[in-house]
Amino acid sequence: MAILEHAYYGSFGYQVTNFFAPSSRFGTPEDLKKLIDTAHENGIIVLLDLVHSHASKNVEDGLNMFDGSDYCYFHEGPKGVHSLWDSRLFNYGHWEVLRFLLSNLRWWMDEFMFDGFRFDGVTSMLYKHHGIGFGFSGDYHEYFGESVDEEAVVYLMLANAMLHEVYPLVITIAEDVSGIPALCRPVEEGGLGFDYRMAMAVPDKWIQLLKENKDEDWNMGNIVHTLTNRRYKEKTVCYCESHDQALVGDKTLAFWLMDKEMYTNMSKFCKRSLIIDRGIALHKMIRFLTYTLAGEAYLNFIGNEWGHPEWLDFPRVGNNESFHYARRQWNLLFDNCLLYQYLNNFDIAMHHLEVNHPWLLSPQAYVSLAHEDDKVIVFERAQLVFIFNFHPYKSFENYRIGLEYSGTYKVIFTSDDEAFYGFTRIDKEYLYSTVQIGLHGRLYSFQVFKACM
């Protein structure tokens, strides 16, 4: 992120001044190549956060008024200005703009060997209103009416067709909040050709719940709907929080859950606290439920995996150009006296579990239960049964759940493990045998003697 050259650090890289230069504030182009080569040597795929949706208004060091006019690369007049971002909007109907942007894609792939792109601001590109003041209901007239910018749609189709033809292993991800159909279907099918879309409603939902509701009032059906509301056979990147949630003015998930005691009771040597116990438990459950139910790829962001305590901020006039919050406190993770390590242990274990039972490659889960009074969610995916108990104080014995496949089951993963700062109350050795009693629309069922606590 923030790789393309930008003059204003506080823009987080989204006010690009030079599309063909890696930002000099991070080092030389050779340093970036070395970083990517090292990642590849370790089996890590590297994607570039790409801003082709708009450009900086800067005249001296940007494309704006490149030839003395305001329409060389951009739309003329007010149409060429994004009113919220205060930036210039490309005219995708101009042949030279297409040449410029497509060659930009080739340059980053050929010169730096990136593995693909996350296209920023796709919603702004797709619609003439740029999504400003517009709430998408999902009605098809919103996606195929006069508000759609057909020239931008054609550019995105061209970009994806070119990338996937020239670089067969390329990965492209769209940041889109509108839910436009066929965004992630191949161009030859009439789609826009992306491989994944970002599940942007998911982190918004978690932050909304933490802001507006006590966890005992959370609606299980609403959570399940948000996590499963995605286009059929269009792959989704799911995540719990990003810079949209963790920037100044908001809080990280961990901070929303535990800010009352995060500066005082995160030591292993403190007496156990209900706030910290509850916060750590919910942080684990939020991440695991999102990971297993909400998509075909999973994203961690800026310390989310170990519960970073504080927000992000960038030097700007409003904070007297301070760098104080322009960092992640990785030292907290590596302090063995603090509890952050347990959240990170849980993250590592989640990924190992997915490697052994690849649910991300499996069809969307079948949710058999979202019980509002019990606060229990049950679903099946990748031949596993997932049980989440969000009730603030109840555990359940002899809790019967339905499932599709008969056989013998055992617990292979629980958030209550001591390694994850749990209480080790779940018996991982007990074998659960199904009976031919259908329940919740499934053919079989068994009783869970102790559901997840």
Between 274-293 and 201-212, two packed helices, what is the crossing angle to 10 degrees? 160
Tell me the whole-structure pTM to 2 decimals.
0.93
Quick: pLDDT tens for 428-450: 889 999 999 999 999 999 998 65
Candidates 175, 296, 380, 416; catalytic one: 175
User: How many residues does the structure list for the chain?
Assistant: 453
Biggest alpha carbon–alpha carbon distance for the chain: 77
Query: What pLDDT is recorded for position 250?
Result: 83
- Cα–Cα distance for residue pair 244/256, rounded to 1 Å: 14
- Give dist(CA 288, CA 357) in Å, integer: 14
Q: How confident is the model over 78-95, as pLDDT tens digits?
A: 999 999 999 999 999 999
Structure tokens, 360: 């991300």
pLDDT in tens, 336-376: 999 999 999 999 999 999 999 999 999 999 999 999 999 99
Selecting among 5, 70, 120, 176, the annotated active-site residue is: 120
- Secondary structure of the chain in the HEC alphabet? CCCEEECCHHHCCCCEEEEEEECHHHCCHHHHHHHHHHHHHCCCCCEEEECCCCECCCCCCCCCCCCCCCCCCECCHHHHEECCCCEECECCCCHHHHHHHHHHHHHHHHHHCCCEEEECCHHHHHECCCCCCCCCCCCCHHHHCCCECHHHHHHHHHHHHHHHHHCCCCEEEECCCCCCCCCCCCHHHCCCCCCEEECCHHHHHHHHHHHHCCHHHCCHHHHHHHHHCCCCCCCEEEECCCHHHHEECECCHHHHHHCCCCCCCCECCCCCCHHHHHHHHHHHHHHHHHHHHCCCEEECCCCHHHCCCCCECCCCHHHCCCCCCCCCCHHHHCCCCECHHHHHHHHHHHHHHHHHCCHHHCCCCEEEEEECCCCEEEEEECCEEEEEECCCCCCCCCEEEEECCCCEECCCCCCCCHHHCCCCCCCCCCCEECECCCECCECEEEEECCCCC
- Quick check: is 175 catalytic? yes
60 noted as active-site residue: no
Convert the pLDDT of each residue in 36-79 to its tens digit.
Answer: 999 999 999 999 999 999 999 999 999 999 999 999 999 999 99
- For the segment 297-305, the average pLDDT, to the nearest whole number, is 91
To 10 degrees, what angle do helices 150-166 and 95-112 make?
A: 30
pLDDT of residue 82: 96
Residue 294, pLDDT > 70, answer yes
Packing angle, helices 29-41 and 95-112, rounded to 10? 60
Q: Identify which of 134, 129, 145 has the alpha carbon closest to the alpha carbon of residue 78.
A: 129
Q: Per-residue pLDDT tens for 379-414?
A: 999 999 999 999 999 988 889 999 999 999 999 999
φ, ψ of residue 191 in degrees (nearest 5)? -85, 180
| Whether 304 contacts 241, CB under 8 Å | yes
Among residues 253, 249, 229, the alpha carbon closest in space to that of 241 is found at: 253
Binning pLDDT at 50, 70 and 90, where does residue 133 land?
Answer: confident
User: Residue 425 CB: number of other CB atoms within 10 A?
Assistant: 12
pLDDT band at 284 (very low <50, low <70, confident <90, very high): very high
Structural domains in the chain plus CATH codes: 4-361 (3.20.20.80), 366-448 (2.60.40.1180)
The pLDDT of residue 453: 42
CB 364 within 8 A of CB 386: no
> Average model confidence (pLDDT) for the chain?
94
The per-residue pLDDT for 91 is 98
452: pLDDT confidence band, cut at 50, 70 and 90? very low
- Both tokens of 76, joined, read 């003329």
Q: How far apart are CA 110 and CA 138, in angstroms?
A: 38
**Higher pLDDT residue, 239 or 134?**
239
- The encoded tokens of residue 108 equal 């980053």
Dist CA 420 CA 411 (whole Å) = 16
* CA dist., res. 152 & res. 92, Å (int): 6
- List, in order, residues 6 or more apart from 435 with CB less than 8 Å away: 444, 445, 446
